[in-house]
Amino acid sequence: MSEDRSTNGHKSWLDRLVQAFVHEPKNRQELLELLREAHQNEVLDIEALSIIEGALQVSDMQVRDIMVPRSQMTTIKSTQAPRDFLPAVIEAAHSRYPVIGESIDEVLGILLAKDLLPLLLDGNCERFNLKEVLRPATFVPESKRLNVLLREFRSTRNHMAIVIDEYGGVSGLVTIEDVLEQIVGDIEDEHDVDEDSQIKPLPSGDFLVKGLTPIEDFNEHFGSDFPDEEFDTVGGLVMNAFGHLPKRNEVVELEGFRVRVLNADSRRVHLLRITVIDQ
């Protein structure tokens, strides 16, 4: 006979959550208040609460809210030879690249970084035909809801979409990771710094720096002198320099450093690429 946990004092988290909803919420705001109260009562942990809030938020957001703008897209021209576009591919370290014709508004398809692997085996860049390996591009309007886009990404197994404006011009791009990060927060990838490291040097001479790195540690590592009275972390310092919550690939120069945002969501900056500018 199964044990009745509701009568022996050992209620499951689901039992406690149902009990927290004694009064049925009438709208989303009341639902959020109940969820936050459940967190305060230790029914939900902060990670679960954050994911639920993110999922609710996604249904109210549009592609234009999170897309990478066209000015920050890394694209490849269809007329370029591998020796011409490979440096940009290596620098950006993405898995997918829009391939364009005469202008950025003419997207011919998507190049997957893994399709460049034959170049390593063959070694003959002249025989590489870019147009033969292109994948079809998916186009979505700026106004598409993120929850709808996520459903389409899942059903079509696409990971990237080109965002177009009302006139049919390219206004940016969006990936499935961009959408998921609105729900679950930062998703670690090949750029991320090790768990026990805040600052990681790169072979190029640049550095990967976590947004939560204390300014004091940053100053000690780089010999800089940024104040930490108003902000505690590098992420806060960078957000102040931008004057807004920056999106991925936005760049700002800050007292001898060029800072590129590699990972950010709607809440905070997660990962930065730091270039020391020669004085």
Amino acid at 276: V
Structure tokens at 179: 């959408």
Instruction: Identify the residue with better confidence: 5 or 146.
Output: 146
Q: Does domain 66-184 have CATH number 3.10.580.10?
A: yes
CATH 3.10.580.10 domain span(s) along the chain: 66-184
Nearest to 184 by CA among 192, 194, 176: 176
CATH 3.30.465.10 domain span(s) along the chain: 199-276
Instruction: Identify the residue with better confidence: 45 or 253.
Output: 253
Instruction: Identify the residue with better confidence: 141 or 35.
Output: 141
Burial of 7 per CB tally in 10 Å (0-12, 13-18, 19+): exposed
For 199-276, CATH gives 3.30.465.10
User: Strands (DSSP E) along 43-130, which ranges?
Assistant: 68-69, 76-77, 96-100, 107-112
Buried b (16+ CB within 10 A) or exposed e, 119-153: eeeeeeeeebebeebbeebbebebebebbebbeeb
pTM: 0.59
Could you identify the residue written with the tokens 């590699």? 262
Confidence grade of residue 1 (pLDDT, cut at 50, 70, 90): very low
- In this structure, are residues 25 and 34 in contact, taking their beta carbons and an 8 Å threshold? yes
Nearest to 262 by CA among 219, 195, 207: 207
The DSSP bridge partners found for residue 259 are 252, 274
- In this structure, are residues 119 and 128 in contact, taking their beta carbons and an 8 Å threshold? yes
pLDDT in tens, 209-230: 888 899 999 999 999 999 888 8
Structure tokens at 68: 């990478």
pLDDT in tens, 83-113: 888 888 888 888 899 999 999 999 999 999 8
Give backbone dihedrals phi and psi of 45, rounded to 5 degrees, phi first: -85, 170
Nearest to 173 by CA among 160, 158, 154, 186: 160
CA–CA distance, 146 with 120 (Å, rounded to integer): 37
**52 has a pLDDT exceeding 70:** yes
